[in-house]
Amino acid sequence: MLVLALPPGVIAYEREGLVGRRAEGAVAVRFERRQRAVGGELQRAVGVRAAAVVVDIEDLVDAFGEEVYESTLDAFEKRFVERMKALKVGDPMAANTDVGPLATGKIRDELHDQVQRAVAAGGRLLSGGRKIDGPGFYYQPTVLADVPRSSPVFREEFFGPVAMLFRARDAEEAIELANDSPFGLGSSVWTRDESEQARFADGIEAGQVFVNAMVASDPRLPFGGVKRSGYGRELGVWGIREFVNVKTVWCK
């Protein structure tokens, strides 16, 4: 038996929401293979040590020991908000800038609407929550807490400097909270407990689970999501295989 890999007609694209679904439909009509990636990182800090990428999370981990669940979340929340407030917003080309502008005014308006809806639904606004006046589409680094799960915002993505914090009694509830999302691109969990590391890696529904590290792309590793965060993989051996067809030739 001989197996050969031949180049197929493949379309790879990265789109979110309605645009992605329309592109997918157009590709399907042409019977092309497709590899789709959309947004969908699990952006919630659910009582495990997850945080916005702009915050030095390792410092916070060292400060609060092995677990950050309900028993210590108040202290974690205080430190997290302090760090978010301290971030410098400004010119993305400047070396001392932590947070740059959003790409368009429309994206900023949509982000602000999400924050307002989260607060209107009962979420707590702990910092930020405002557009920044002046040239450029800047938005204050924002922290929301306890957004009700009944609110549509709970399951939406925030394309901007907004973090949501949720309380979890233990690892199992943290996993359940994280999975209550239509998206599943990447996730970041923080714990020194090896048994918890295994539970999170196995239980979180995402294309990637980073333990004690923020989500990152590495050309050696497959990159892609589950659920509405797409299917197929880019990068690594698995990514290469997305761009080939396998032909089986049987000679007797």
Angle of helix 73-86 versus helix 57-64 axis, rounded to 10: 150
The domain locations on the chain are: 2-38+221-249, 44-167
Q: What are the Cα distances from residue 176, in Å, to 44, 82, 109, 166?
A: 12, 28, 31, 12
CA distance 221 to 236: 5
Q: Is the pLDDT of residue 32 over 80?
A: no
pTM, to two decimals: 0.72
- Distance in angstroms (rounded) separating the CA atoms of residues 44 and 41: 9
pLDDT of residue 22: 52
Between 236 and 34, the more confident residue is 236
Q: What is the sign, positive or negative, of the torsion defined by CA atoms of 155, 156, 157, 162?
A: negative
Count the helix, strand and coil residues of the chain and give each as a percent rounded to the nearest 5: 35, 20, 45
Sheet holding 10-14, edge to edge: 10-14, 33-37, 230-231
What band does 24 get if pLDDT is binned at 50, 70 and 90? Answer: low
Question: Residue 12 above 50 pLDDT?
Answer: yes
Q: What is the mean predicted confidence (pLDDT) over 81-109?
A: 91
Find tokens 């997305």 and name the residue: 242
Q: Is the pLDDT of residue 68 over 90?
A: no
Domain 44-167 has what CATH class? alpha beta
Between CA 121 and CA 153 the distance in angstroms is 9
Lowest mean pLDDT among 42-46, 95-99, 125-129, 223-227: 42-46
Closest-CA residue to 76 (of 121, 171, 175, 143)? 143
CA–CA dist 230, 226 (Å, integer): 6
The CB-side HSE value for 82 (13 A sphere, CA atoms) comes to 9
Q: What does the pLDDT read at residue 235?
A: 86
The whole-chain average pLDDT of the chain stands at 77
Segment (H or E) for 83: helix 73-86
So what's the pLDDT on residue 10? 59
